Amino acid sequence: MKILRRIMAFPLCLVGVLLPWRLRVIFSECVGWIIQFIYMNYIYTLRFILKELEKAKNSGKKQ
C-alpha cells in the first residue's frame, strides 16, 4: 500500500516540482479542484443515502 501510494504520488510531485511558478499554481488548482470534485461527490452521495435510509426508517415506524 505504501509503495502504491508512492508510485501514485511520484508523477504528480515530479510534474509539480519541474513546472515554473505560475504553471505550478495552475497545476495545483487543477489537482485541487479534481480532488474537491471527488470529495464533494462522495459527501453528497453519502448524505443522500443517509437521508433516504432515514426516510425509510421513519416510514417503517409509521406503518
Partner 1 sequence: MPGKEVVLLYSGGTDSTLAACLLAEKYDKVRLLTFKRFGLFSAANSLSNVARLKARYGQDRFSHEIIPIDGIFRKVSYDRFFTNLFKHGFFLLSTCGLCKLAMHVRALIYCLEEGIRNVSDGANKGMNLFPDQQPGVIAMIRAMYAKFGIDYSNPVFEFEGPQDIEFADRFHLERIPDLAAERDAAFAENKKKTTGHRLYEMGMMPSDNVKGTAQDRGMQPRCFQFILFNTWLHWYYLPFADMDRYVREGDSFFLEKIDRFTALLKEYRAKGHLSELAGYLGI
List phi, psi (to 5°) of 19. -75, 145
Q: How far is the CB of 59 from partner 1 (least distance, A)?
A: 20
User: What gap in Å lies between CA 53 and CA 59, rounded to an integer?
Assistant: 10
- Shortest Cβ 51–partner 1 spacing (Å): 10
Give ∠ CA 12-40-18 in degrees, rounded to 5: 15
Q: Quick one: 35 or 56, whose CB is closer to partner 1?
A: 35
Whether residue 31 contacts residue 38, with contact meaning beta carbons closer than 8 Å, is answered with: no
Binding residues for partner 1, rule: CB under 8 A, are 2, 5-6, 8-10, 12-13, 16-17, 20-22, 24-25, 27-29, 31-33, 35, 43, 46-47, 50
Residue 45 Cβ, how far from partner 1 at the closest point, in Å?
Answer: 12
